Structure 1
């Protein structure tokens, strides 16, 4: 099984259901067969003189070996794939005793029963979390807000991914906490653009944008006039996040349902995408400096 991945129900059934059914059925049938054969071994043997004699232990037969070879490789592979360590040990015991010879049916029936029960116990202990279809695409995905956002806000990549995973698994408050860290990265960039001090509150940014928008046209710089429409959209995004956050600051003061966290997730993604496209500086080519500060000749 691939760690930290999403398997749909069909994939799980296709990969494991047939194998589990084959192995458990084979073990149970062999166990029942051995139990029936051992009934005679447990009964005393009466000789011609009427004396009771204890029967000799029955060795594992060729028929038993055929049974074992039919299910044991599948049991070993299943135990290895699903990390069923106790079942692996039980399967190895059967294989080693079979190879060593002098394997008795009474020992084999106990080993077969042990393997069957260990498989059952360890499979029961494996817990799986169901992810609803509408959230499955958020689970452990590396670029949920797009590659451009990842390129521009590299410090937020891990928290964006973890926010999506938390949302997918129903942990709404955890999702919003990761988004709080994502917003810190974005607001620091916005603070630089607006030339204000960074603050973990929406108001400082909304107030600054509103002041600049409301200023007389003649007082606005050429750069601001060129970008005013962008900042209007950013202001709208911040208001949307503020409303979805349901708190005037970025502090977590309540629990968030999955739906509420989904609203925050969507709003934060919209803001970062807009900022990545319009506000954050793109990477510039680096000038290579050589000896004596001379550029290389063409």
Structure 2
């Protein structure tokens, strides 16, 4: 996948086409060499197009543009009007062939922000450092939203939460389970609840305390377990855009809250 700077690319393509049109109409001067003023006009446009063509992978168009640039940069320039016209036609023709072989997709103004880095997506500076693995999953979930792959985005959101559960378990000093049968949400959540109650007994938890913060994280995980986690694992479930967005936002809320208490390795940030 290639990210295209649409405005720069459009400017490069239209400038080249405009110059080609001008030279195509100069049939009476076909054998005349380009004057320095003409070279100064053509060269920047070809140079800009060559860079944009190379950026999107239009290799043959880029090679053709570079060949023409080399001729224009000679001192003195020996390129004639007809040679310039043929060269410009060759560049455009090769580029048109390239466009016929690929598909271009665009993102709307509402979709493009989902392509940003995790710290911007979560509006949480430093999250990418505290949770590198989860950061990848958050960014992938957001990209799936941008590209309309809503069910896939929910899978990534669930992976985000699993990373969060493991980090929370490490922070609370809960050993990593060795048996495969113990590696499920129900077992993890049971161990987390038990450890929270042991470290911060219910009757002694004060508002705003660390124990209350961990209790809130547990409640959030317990709430998403059945309706989302279990449903995601079955092929019958297909998520609509609003459902996927809601799930991702809930996962993001949980991870941002968790990042204030621990990093991915269970260490206090």
Q: Same fold (TM over 0.5)?
A: yes
Q: CA deviation at 1:66?
A: 5.5
* d(CA) in 2 for partners of 1:6, 1:112: 23
- Aligned-residue RMSD, C-alpha: 4.0
1:26 is matched with: 19
Whether the 8 Å CA contact 1:87–1:118 is kept in 2: the answer is yes
CA radius of gyration, larger in = 1
Q: 1:22 to 1:108 in 2, by over 3 A?
A: closer
Whether the 8 Å CA contact 2:50–2:62 is kept in 1: the answer is yes
Unaligned residue ranges in structure 2 (runs of 5+): none
Q: CA deviation at 1:261?
A: 2.1
Query: Are 1:178 and 2:156 counterparts?
Result: yes
1:75 to 46, 62, 70: 46
TM-score norm. by structure 1 comes to 0.63
Q: 1:75 to 1:102 in 2, by over 3 A?
A: closer
2:31 to 60, 72, 93: 60
* d(CA) in 1 for partners of 2:148, 2:227: 17
1:112 is matched with: 88
Unaligned residue ranges in structure 1 (runs of 5+): 38-57, 214-219, 284-298
Whether the 8 Å CA contact 1:142–1:161 is kept in 2: the answer is yes
RCO (CA 8 Å, sep 6+): is it higher in 1 or 2? 2
1:160 to 138, 141, 147: 138
Q: 1:242 to 1:141 in 2, by over 3 A?
A: same
Whether the 8 Å CA contact 1:160–1:182 is kept in 2: the answer is yes
Query: Are 1:85 and 2:59 counterparts?
Result: yes
* d(CA) in 1 for partners of 2:61, 2:4: 25
1:266 to 229, 246, 249: 249
Q: 1:22 to 1:142 in 2, by over 3 A?
A: same
1:124-139 equivalences under 5 Å are 127-139=103-115
Whether the 8 Å CA contact 1:131–1:168 is kept in 2: the answer is yes
Say how many residue pairs are matched: 247
* d(CA) in 2 for partners of 1:108, 1:122: 21
Q: 1:249 to 1:235 in 2, by over 3 A?
A: farther
Q: CA deviation at 1:208?
A: 5.8
Q: CA deviation at 1:265?
A: 1.0
Q: 1:232 to 1:22 in 2, by over 3 A?
A: same
